[in-house]
Amino acid sequence: MELENFRREEKLPPQKLAIAQYVVAAVLLALVAGMWRLSVLGADSYRVLAEQNRVRKVPVLAPRGKIFDREGRIIVDNYPSVSCYLLREQTKNLDADMPRIAEGLHMTVDQIQAILKRYAYAPKYQPLPLKQDITPDEQAFIEAHRTELPELQTLDEQRRLYPRDGFMAHVIGYVGEVSENDLKQTRYAFYSPGDVVGKSGIEESYDEELRGQDGSRDVIVNSHGKEVGLMGQELAKPGRDLYLTIDLDLQKAAERALEGKTGAIVAMDPHTGEILAMASRPTFDPNQFAVRLSKAYWQSILDNPDHPLLNKAIQAQVAPGSTFKVIMTMAGLQENVAQNLTVSCNGGATFYGHFFGCDRHHGFVDIHNALPYSCDTYYYTLANRLGIDTMARYANSVGVGVKTGVDLPEEAAGTMPSEQWKMKVMHDKWYAGETISVGIGQGAIQATPLQMARALSGIASGGVLRRPHLVMDKELSADELSAVKQTFPGSGEKTIPLTPENWQIITDDMAGVTGPIGTAAEAHLEGVDFVGKTGTADVVSGRKKGDHNRNTIPNAWFVGMTPRRNPDIVVAVLWEHGYWGNNSAKLAAQVITAFVNKQREKAGNLVKVAAVKPQVGLGDAAPAADANSATTTPADPDAAHSPAKKDNE
C-alpha cells in the first residue's frame, strides 16, 4: 500500500508534462532552423567569407598614358614604383603594431592615425594607401616582418616622371590622390579614395583618357597572409598616350627666354590654333606632387608672392597696355574714323578737364605712324571718337573679355569694360573720361597673354580666329572633340569682318613697330618679316618716373608674328615688372628665331637668323627719354625704348 502511494506521488501532472514536451520541441526546432539557415540560406555568403580567408583580390593599377610633343618626343613618362598598403582585416590589434610599422616605414604614429581617420568610412576589406614610392629598405622591412605584420602589403605601380626644373609644368599639370572634396563632385563619381587623378593642366583636362582601367589579381594566401598561389587575374588597360601640339624646340626657347623672370610666353599657329609653346614663370616641380607633397615644399609655394601654381599664359589678368592699340586701330578703321584722323602730339592732350600725358612730343601723327610711334595722344583722341561701347564691341569680337576655349582648366576670361559692364559689376554709370585710358589698354581692361596672342594673330589673319588647343585634333574622335569644346567653352572658331584695305594698313603699321622708327626696333630680325606691337602697362596709378620699386615697375608686353599677313606663328610675351615693351620684344624674337631657323633647316636653307641678345634683367632696359629732350627717334610712351643703344644692351 505504501509503495503504491509512493509511485502515485512520483508521477508528473499531465499539464507539466505537456509544457516540458513543448519546450523540448521548441529548442529542437530552433536548432534545426539555425542549422538550415547556416547550411542553406547562408551557404553562399559563408562560402564567400571562407574563400576570402584564402583568396585575396589584389588591384593591378593601370599605368597612365604617356605624353609626347607634336614630333613624338616624350615629355611625360612613367617609372616603376612600389607602394605600401594596409590590410585592416589581417590584424587583430593594429594599435599594438602601429609603433613598429611607423618605425619601419619611417613615419610617425600620428601620420598613420591620420590616414586611418581619413579612410574611417571606407569598407574594411579595402586596402588603404599607407606610403607611396617606398624605398628598398622599407620594402625589405615589410618582407622581413611578413609573419608578424600581415597587414602590410606591397603593390607595384607605375608612377609619373615629369621633366626636371618645372619644365612645361603649367601645361602638363600634375597628378595626386583624389581628395574628399573631389569625391563629392559628379565627375569623380566612379573614383575611390586612394585613386590617383590629374590635378591641373593636361593631366586634369584629359584625365579620363590618360588614366586607363585598373585590373586585379586573385591570389591564394595562407593563414599568415602570405601569397602562395594565383587563381586568376584581370589585366589592367593602360591609359591612352597623348600627342600635344607643343614643339619642344620652341618650348625650350620660350623657357630659356623667361629664365629668372616672372611672366608668360605663348606661341601659337594662327592657321590651326595649335599652341606651339607655353611657358609661365615662376614654375613648380610636378614631381613633388606626384607622390606625397611635403609640408616644406607646399609652404614654399604658398609663401611665393609670384604664385608659382598660376599659369600666367591663361590666368594672369592684367592691363594689356599698348598692345591693345592694334585692336583700337582695327576699330577706328572699320568705323571709318581713323582714316582721316590726325593729331598734333605735344606730350599729351586734355579731355573732360583732365590732362592725359604722352611721354614724347611726336608732332604730326596719323594712322600710318600712330602704331609704330605708339602715340598715346592719337589713341586718346580715337577712343574719345569711338566711345567705350564701340571699343568693347570690337574687342569682344576678337576675344578680349571672353575665354578662348583652350583645353586647360581654369582659364580666365579677362575684362573688357563697357557701360553695361560697369552698371552690372559696380552699379554705377560709365563716365566719358574713363574711356580715354582704355584707349591705350589701361584702366579697367584686363587680358591674358593667350587672349592677346589670338586677338592680334586673328587680325593679322584677315579676321579669322581659331580655337587655341594643346592636344592634336587628330588624336580625338569627333565625339571627344565635341566633348572638349563643351567642357572648355569660349569664343572658339570665328571670323570677323575686316576689309582687305584695313587689313593691309594694320599689318603694315605693325611692321613699322619693329622697323627703324618703331618701339621694338632693337628686336628687328634681319631677313625676317617679324612684326608686332609693344606695350607697357602701369601697375600702380600715378607712378612717378624713375620709381624702381619692383611693385611699381610696369608690366612689359609684346605680341609679335611672322610674316605680317596670314602669319605662321604668333608669340605673346608678358614680363611682369619688365619695364618697357621693347624688353619683351627681345624675348619674343628669341622664340621667332628658333622657329624660323627650324623651318629653314627643314627646307635645306642653311642661312640662320642672327639671334637677338637675350634680355637678362632690368639692367638691360634702356630708360625713357625725357619728354622735352631733342630726339628724332620716336618711342612708345608705354614701351619707351631708348633713343640710343647702351653698352649693356
pLDDT band for position 26 (cuts 50, 70, 90)? confident
Residue 11 lies in a domain: no
pLDDT higher than threshold 90 for residue 512: yes
Q: Tell me, what's the pLDDT at 210?
A: 94
Identify which of 118-122, 236-240, 384-388, 549-553 has the greatest average pLDDT.
Answer: 384-388
| Highest mean pLDDT, choosing among 35-44, 553-562, 626-635 | 553-562
Q: CA 105 to CA 133: how far, in whole Å?
A: 11
**Could you give the residue ranges of the DSSP H alpha helices within 578-649?**
581-602
Whether residues 170 and 254 share a domain: the answer is no
621 pLDDT above the threshold of 60: no
Confidence at residue 641, expressed as pLDDT on a 0 to 100 scale: 30
Same domain flag for 196 and 324: no
Label residue 128 by pLDDT band (50, 70, 90): confident
pLDDT in the model for residue 545: 55
Residue with cell 617609372: 79
Confidence band, pLDDT 50/70/90 cuts, at residue 358: very high
Domain range holding 141? 55-243
- Rounded to whole angstroms, the Cα distance separating 223 from 331 reads 80
Identify which of 67, 85, 88 has the alpha carbon closest to the alpha carbon of residue 168. Answer: 67
Is residue 151 predicted with pLDDT exceeding 50?
yes
CATH classification at residue 124: 3.90.1310.10
pLDDT score at 627: 30
User: Does residue 349 have a pLDDT over 80?
Assistant: yes
174 and 190 assigned to the same domain: yes
Mean pLDDT over 442-459 rounds to 96
How many whole angstroms separate alpha carbon 451 and alpha carbon 325? 14
DSSP β-ladder status, 67-68 and 242-243: parallel
- pLDDT band for 7, please (50, 70, 90 cuts): low
Q: Which three cell numbers stand for residue 199?
A: 590635378
Residue 327 lies in a domain: yes
Cα within 13 Å of Cα(419), Cβ side: 8
**Are residues 337 and 233 both part of a single domain?**
no
Give residue for cell 573732360.
352
Has residue 343 got a pLDDT over 90?
yes
- In the block, which residue shows the cell 608705354? 638
pLDDT for the residue numbered 623:
33
Per-residue pLDDT band for 646 (boundaries 50, 70, 90) equals very low
Angstrom distance (rounded) from CA 615 to CA 156: 47
Q: Side by side, which strands form the sheet with 531-537? A: 274-281, 263-269, 569-575, 555-562, 531-537
Q: What is the C-alpha separation between 444 and 440, in angstroms, rounded?
A: 11
Residue 638, pLDDT > 80, answer no
At residue 435, the pLDDT reads 97
pLDDT at position 633: 32
Domain CATH for 429: 3.40.710.10
Q: Residue 132: its pLDDT value, please?
A: 83
Average pLDDT over residues 254-279: 97
Q: What sign for the dihedral angle of Cα 546, 384, 321, 341?
A: negative
Residue 44 falls inside a structural domain: no
The answer to whether residues 215 and 321 belong to one domain is: no
Give the pLDDT confidence of 516-534 residue by residue, as tens digits: 999 999 999 999 999 999 9
Question: pLDDT higher for 380 or 615?
Answer: 380
Tell me what percent of the residues of the chain surpass a pLDDT of 70. Answer: 84
Please check whether residues 488 and 514 belong to one and the same domain: yes
- Pair 225, 252 in one domain: no
Determine the pLDDT at residue 209.
93
**Which ranges of 131-214 would DSSP assign to H, the alpha helix?**
136-144, 169-172, 180-183, 201-205, 207-211
- For residue 261, give every residue at least 6 positions away whose Cβ sits within 8 Å of its Cβ, in sequence order, or none: 281, 575, 576, 578
The CB density around residue 579, as the number of other CB atoms within 10 Å, is: 23
Name the least confident of 357-366, 453-462, 535-544, 621-630.
621-630
pLDDT at residue 472, as a whole number: 94
* Rounded Cα gap, residues 411 and 396, in angstroms: 16
Q: What are phi and psi of 428, to 5 degrees?
A: -145, 160
Closest C-alpha to 201, from 279, 257, 305: 279
Q: Which residue in 273, 313, 318, 325 sits closest to 533, CA to CA?
A: 325
Whether the CB-CB separation of 336 and 431 falls below 8 Å is answered with no
Question: Which tens digit of pLDDT belongs to each residue from 425-438?
Answer: 999 999 999 999 99
Whether residue 304 is contained in a domain is answered as no
Least reliable range by pLDDT among 8-12, 181-185, 402-406, 457-461: 8-12
Q: Which residue has the higher pLDDT, 48 or 482?
A: 482
Helices (H), 388-535: 388-397, 419-426, 432-438, 449-460, 478-487, 500-513
Quote the cell numbers at residue 229: 598561389
46 has a pLDDT exceeding 70: no
* pLDDT class of 617 with cuts at 50, 70, 90: very low
Band of residue 13 on the pLDDT scale cut at 50, 70, 90: confident
Q: Which of 4-8, 68-72, 484-488, 642-646 has the lowest mean pLDDT?
A: 642-646
pLDDT band of residue 397 (cuts 50, 70, 90) is: very high
As a whole number of Å, the end-to-end CA separation of the chain is: 141
pLDDT at position 538 is 86
Report the percentage of the chain scoring pLDDT > 90.
Answer: 56
In a domain, 199, yes or no: yes
Beta pairing class for 175-177 and 152-161: unpaired
pLDDT bin (cut points 50, 70, 90) of residue 634 is very low
Cβ(338)–Cβ(329) below 8 Å: yes
Residue 367 inside a domain? The answer is yes
- Say if residue 439 is in the same domain as residue 521: yes
Query: Looking at the 3D structure of the chain, how many domains does it have?
Result: 2
Residue 312: is it exposed, middle or buried by C-beta count within 10 angstroms (0-12/13-18/19+)?
Answer: buried
* 3-state percent breakdown (helix, strand, coil) of the chain, nearest 5: 40, 20, 40
Q: What is the mean pLDDT of the chain?
A: 85
- At 391, the pLDDT band (50, 70, 90 cuts) reads very high
* CA pair distance 524, 540, nearest whole angstrom: 30
Evaluate whether residue 646 is within a structural domain: no
Give the model's pLDDT for residue 356.
95
Contact 373, 380 (CB under 8 A): no
Q: Which residue has the higher pLDDT, 627 or 551?
A: 551
The answer to the question of residue 42 being in a domain is no
Same domain, 231 and 259: no
Indicate if 220 and 106 belong to the same structural domain.
yes
Q: Using pLDDT thresholds of 50, 70 and 90, give the confidence band for residue 53.
A: low
Residue 595 one-letter amino acid: F
- Between 195-199, 529-533, 576-580, 597-601, the lowest mean confidence (pLDDT) is in 195-199
Q: What is the pLDDT of residue 123?
A: 75
Q: What are phi and psi of 117, to 5 degrees?
A: -65, -40
> What is the predicted pLDDT for the residue at 276?
98
Q: What is the DSSP letter of 41?
A: I
Please state the rounded mean pLDDT for residues 194-217. Answer: 88
Instruction: Please work out, in degrees rounded to the nearest 5, the angle formed at the alpha carbon of residue 536 by the alpha carbons of 533 and 539.
Output: 150
Q: Which positions ≥6 away from 572 have C-beta within 8 Å? A: 264, 265, 266, 267, 449, 450, 452, 453, 456, 557, 558, 559, 588
**CA-CA-CA-CA torsion sign (25, 27, 30, 31):** negative
Closest CA to 231 of 248, 213, 219, 214: 219
Q: 288-340: per-residue pLDDT in tens? A: 887 777 788 888 888 899 999 999 999 999 999 999 999 999 999 999 999 99
Q: Are residues 199 and 318 in the same domain?
A: no
Q: 486 Cβ partners below 8 Å, 6+ apart?
A: none
Shared domain check, 257 and 236: no
If one compares 489 and 626, the residue with the highest pLDDT of the two is 489
Output the furthest CA–CA distance in the chain (Å, rounded).
155
Predicted confidence band of residue 227 (pLDDT cuts 50, 70, 90): low
Q: Pick from 533, 274, 507: which is nearest to 404 by CA?
A: 274
